[in-house]
Amino acid sequence: MLLVGMIVSSLAVLISIFNMIMCAQNEFDPMKLETELIQRREKIRIQAEREQREKRMFVKQKTVATGPEERDRLKKQLSSLI
């Protein structure tokens, strides 16, 4: 049992040394990652606000150009979109 443990441990050490020699370490900067995540969230929020504004403008234009029955129907559609 001891011999098996020694063989497995030595293989693990050899693999670790191989990885250190052949593979460069990744540069991990948590501040850069956090900044990127904040920018993505802000971009998504702005895009969602723009889409909501466009939907409201579309329905508003339709309600101005139509009669009262059509306006009620479009208002219901608008409320379902929001």
- Cα–Cα distance measured from residue 10 to residue 24, given in angstroms and rounded to the nearest whole number: 22
Q: Do 62 and 70 contact (CB within 8 A), yes or no? A: yes
Who has greater pLDDT, 82 or 42? 42
- Would you kindly state where each structural domain of the chain is located, as residue ranges? 2-81
What H or E segment, with its residue span, contains residue 35?
A: helix 30-64
Average the pLDDT over 37-61 and give the result: 90
pTM: 0.46
Residue 81 has pLDDT above 70, yes or no: no
Residue 4 has pLDDT above 70, yes or no: yes
What burial class does residue 62 get, using C-beta atoms within 10 Å of its C-beta: 0-12 exposed, 13-18 middle, 19+ buried?
middle
Q: Do 74 and 64 contact (CB within 8 A), yes or no? A: no
